[in-house]
Amino acid sequence: MLNTQISKLTTRPAGEQCWQLIQEGATVIDVRSPQEFAGGHLPQAINVPLDTLDTWLHKLENRQQVFVLYCGAGIRAQKGCDILMANGLESVINGGALKDLLSCQPKQ
């Protein structure tokens, strides 16, 4: 279970907070196209393009997990967050742009 408490976050948290959630086991979703994903992505991410999010959502078994979504600029990620929250998911975070997440990635 994640240590971080989240309840219906609709604003973008700081990148460091996103990384904390990712390190604690959040599901990371890249909502960009498969071509964009192939060009580079977070190693923890799964690719669920925005236009397929509805289909993916209906197959989702664990709706209690935390989701961090990102894209190229943050706009598609916000749309994805809106879709997930409209379908009853509560722990959904807009991680913004891939480049922003990469810029504040913790040192390993």
pLDDT tens column, 32-57 = 999 999 999 999 999 999 999 999 99
Angle of CA points 56, 57, 58, to nearest 5°: 95
For residue 90, count CB atoms less than 10 angstroms from its CB and return exposed for 0-12, middle for 13-18, buried for 19 or more.
middle
Per-residue model confidence (pLDDT) at position 8: 44
pLDDT tens column, 54-101 = 999 999 998 899 999 999 999 999 999 999 999 999 999 999 999 999
Beta carbons within 8 Å of 34's beta carbon, 6+ residues apart: 47, 49
Name the fold adopted by 15-103: Oxidized Rhodanese; domain 1 (3.40.250)
Per-residue model confidence (pLDDT) at position 12: 53
pLDDT tens column, 4-24 = 444 444 455 667 889 999 999
